[in-house]
Structure 1
Amino acid sequence: MAENKSIQVAGNEFLWDMDKGQLTFEGGDVVLFWISTAMKDFFDTLEEISGEEASKLVFETTGFRQGIEIGGYFEKFKTAGIAEAADMLMNLYATAGWGLVTVHNLCFEDKKVSLHLKDSWETKINLSQGKSQGTNFIAAHFAGVFSGLFGTNIWYKVVQDQVEGHEYSIVEYFPADVSVSENIHELARKKEAEQIGQLEGLVEEKTKELKQLIEQLSSPIIPVLEGIVVVPLIGSYDEERARQLIENTLYNLPAYKANYLVLDLTGLDENMGDHSVSMIEKMGSAAALIGIKTVLVGISAELGVTISNSGINLNKFDCFQTLQHGIHYALGQNGREII
């Protein structure tokens, strides 16, 4: 039979049962881990999988919930007075290797207290991780402990952190309506909002790229013969796309020394909106101001009905069924023909 060991440290008992491979501390099962290796790996893995922000909330929530259980378990200490109970608890944590914790500014009436924490196991992990800002497992843990001791919900504020180079950490505790469940839901909503924002940004970026591509590919100016250019109209046009087409066409027409602008309507949507019809009328009128005549080609029966129903009069422009007819007409007007 293996030899069992029991020792007393500052009034707290550690008991090793070698037959069961069991270690107990103050009557409860405990387990030992190396802080800067095994526990650091645990923190690193959790942060790697969950992300730093989510893992911080996990540490905080877990610490608080554990503290609630311990605060309720050690509520019996309050028979000696809340100050004595707090000191006894801090002594217990020091014995268990949680670091040096001292109680300051304890006020039971206001249910407020400050803790100074030095060389806690969490600080050692954070320092071994190379962090510039600590996690809040222990700070939230004691919020749970004092919630049990004070009999009301207690939250915390880290005033200074040893990880940031201070001699010790200072954490203030006070009554608050903050709940870890609300924090979890808030993070979930924040993550959801971030994902929506990322998707919206991606959609906006892709939409911008698509618009640029459409501008580059749609409605090019095609010089088919001397003095004649063709602009094919494709799809449907909103106000912005119509404006860009008019400006681009009129800006470039003089460079081709065009006398005739042939607008090919074959590729227009049959159910095109008023912007498309208005654009044709505006483009033709603007071209006339710089001495260029406009010819419309490719008007189907359905498209003709749409144009008629729009109330915009395009009768001032010469119209032909096909592009070939329109080009032959423009050539004829210039005193030329295709042989």
Structure 2
Amino acid sequence: MGSEMNYKIGGIDFGWDLDKGRFIFEGEDAVLFWISSAMKTFFDTIEEISGEEASNLVFESTGFRQGLVVGQYFEKIKEITVAEAADMITSTYASAGWGLTRIEDLNFESKTFTAIMKDSWEHKVNVAQGKTKGGSFLPAHYAGVFSGLFGTTIWYKIKQHQLEGHEHSIIEYFPSNIKISDNIHELARKKESDQIRQLESVVEEKTAELKELVNRLSSPIIPVLDGIVVVPLIGKYEEDRAEQLIINTLNKLPSYKAGYLVLDLTGLDQEIGRHTVSLIEKIGSAAKLIGTKTILVGISSELGIAITQSSINLSKFDCFQTLQHGIHYAIGQMGRKII
């Protein structure tokens, strides 16, 4: 027997040229794969890399576009009708191992029909994958085939899948404005939106963690002597951070039995906001309610200007140029002195 072999099975030409490693199906180069191993691995890999949603669209888009090429080819053969072309296509696919497909209720005016599929290669791949829901390649493929035959876009609705325990799959087809390219772009936009939402969530989470860290570290309560604590104000205080500082300070002052609270304003930002000036007044007034006197130290020229331009009166607090002066004053008011 020579290296070239040709057979006609069911009216379909099959051929092999072993010297060149070719398999010929209906006069065209073709290739054979094992369904439950090679094709399964192919599908598994696409789904693993792309994810379920994207891979479904890949299979659907590929199936439709391949079918469109087939349908357009048969549409150009003017001597055959759409029904005859449909019979030829399904018979050819059956001989190629695509499973059995029967076209029913074909209506040329409404351009609708129903496809009955049984034991398709896609069904066998899905069984090998252990899936419980059938794929979209072949349903979309026949939509592409008849889009080419009818010269208008045909889409589909799956009524039942063989994989769900039925004897066969039933797919209904009808004209539609659906475009595969639109579906691809929609998925791309959805994935982009999902990624943006994920990034926003991460940013919000990290921002909250950072704000909590800043609140803990930027304005600690420092006990310097019995009855005297220092709170350095650092950076810029917006409403939330100012409120948090007041709460933290007032909650901790009683545990230190503080008679004097020294607010060190040296580390404040050069740009003093209204929340900062209000913070100084609020924390001093609140401390007074629990018996703690407030001393202000380290007032810069910028802060002094901001205070005079505000309606807040800080004259009720003792003010000193440096932290040392403020601590010495508090010690003296307590009847002590440093030796």
Same fold (TM over 0.5): yes
Counterpart position of 1:181: 181
Specify the alignment match of 1:31 in structure 2: 31
Q: Would you say the 8 A contact 2:147–2:153 is kept in 1?
A: yes
Cα shift readout 1:287-313 (whole Å, capped 9, x = no counterpart): 222332110011122332333333422
| SS of residue paired to 2:267 | strand
Corresponding residue for residue 334 of structure 2: 334
Question: Are residue 284 (structure 1) and residue 287 (structure 2) matched?
Answer: no
Instruction: Judge conservation of contact 2:260–2:295 (CA < 8 Å) in 1.
Output: yes
Cα distance in 2, alignment partners of residues 252 and 105 from structure 1: 82
Check if 1:229 corresponds to 2:223.
Answer: no
The 5 A counterparts of 1:108-187 are 108-187=108-187
CA distance in 2, matches of 1:229, 1:304: 23
Q: Matched residues in 2 for 1:266 and 1:69: separation?
A: 76
Q: Which residue of 2 aligns with 1:204?
A: 204
- Residue of structure 2 equivalent to 1:239: 239
Cα distance in 2 between the residues matched to 1:262 and 1:223: 10
Counterpart of 2:104 in structure 1 is 104
What is the match of residue 92 of structure 2? 92
The C-alpha deviation readout for 1:303-333, integer Å capped at 9, x for no partner, is: 3233333342212111111111111101111
Describe the superposition over 1:146-167 as per-residue Cα deviations: whole angstroms up to 9, x where unpaired: 1011111011122222223322
Cα shift readout 1:6-51 (whole Å, capped 9, x = no counterpart)? 2222222212234543322222221111111222222222222222
Instruction: Select between 78-87 and 201-210 the one with higher mean Cα deviation.
Output: 78-87
- Residues 259 and 293, structure 1, Cα contact 8 Å, conserved in 2: yes
Question: For the residues of structure 2 that align with 1:259 and 1:76, how far apart are their CA atoms?
Answer: 98
> Which range moved further: 244-253 or 95-104?
244-253
User: Aligned partners of 2:246, 2:216: CA distance in 1, in Å?
Assistant: 14
Q: Tell me the equivalent position of 2:263.
A: 263
C-alpha distance in 2 between matches for 1:146 and 1:336: 99
Is the 2:6–2:15 contact (alpha carbons within 8 Å) kept by the matching residues of 1?
yes
Q: CA deviation at 1:131?
A: 1.9
List gaps (5 residues or longer) in structure 1. none
Deviation, structure 1 residue 79: 4.1
Does structure 2 conserve the Cα–Cα contact (< 8 Å) formed by 1:78 and 1:149? Answer: no
Letter paired with 1:228: I
Q: Which whole-Å CA distance do the structure 2 matches of 1:317 and 1:306 have between them?
A: 16
Find the counterpart in structure 1 of residue 303 from structure 2. Answer: 303
TM-score (normalizing by structure 1): 0.94
Per-residue deviation, 1:142: 0.6
Matches of 2:186 and 2:197, distance apart in 1? 16
3-state DSSP class of the match of 1:268?
Answer: coil
CA distance in 2, matches of 1:291, 1:306: 28
AA at the equivalent of 1:278:
S
How far 1:279 sits from its partner (Å)?
0.6
Aligned equivalents of 1:320 and 1:96: distance in 2?
94
> Secondary structure, in 3 states, of the residue corresponding to 1:114?
strand
The answer for the alignment partner of 1:217 in structure 2 is 217
Deviations 1:115-163 (A, max 9, x none): 1111111111111112222321111111100101111101112222222
Instruction: Tell me the secondary structure at the aligned position of residue 174 of structure 1.
Output: strand
Measured on the aligned residues, the alpha-carbon RMSD in Å equals 1.8
CA gap of 1:83–1:331, structure 2 versus 1, over 3 A, is: same
Q: In structure 1, what residue type is equivalent to 2:294?
A: T
1:272 paired with 2:278, answer: no
Give the whole-Å Cα distance in 2 for the aligned partners of 1:47 and 1:138. 17
CA deviation after TM superposition for structure 1 residue 280, in Å = 0.4
CA contact (8 A) 1:271 1:306 kept: no
**How many angstroms apart in 2 are the aligned matches of 1:203 and 1:168?**
50
Q: Is the 8 A contact 1:6 1:13 kept in 2?
A: yes
- Does structure 2 conserve the Cα–Cα contact (< 8 Å) formed by 1:78 and 1:85? no
Aligned length: 339
In structure 2, distance between residues paired with 1:66 and 1:9 = 24
Tell me the distance in 2 between the aligned counterparts of 1:105 and 1:212: 67
Q: Could you tell me whether the CA contact under 8 Å between 2:295 and 2:319 is conserved in 1?
A: yes
Question: Following the alignment from structure 1 to structure 2, what is the Cα–Cα distance between the partners of residues 219 and 86?
Answer: 79
* Aligned residue runs from structure 1 range 48-67, under 5 A: 48-67=48-67
Divergent runs of 4+, >6 A: none
Q: Distance in 2 between matches of 1:152 and 1:314?
A: 80
**Is the CA contact (8 Å cut-off) linking 1:14 and 1:26 kept in structure 2?**
yes
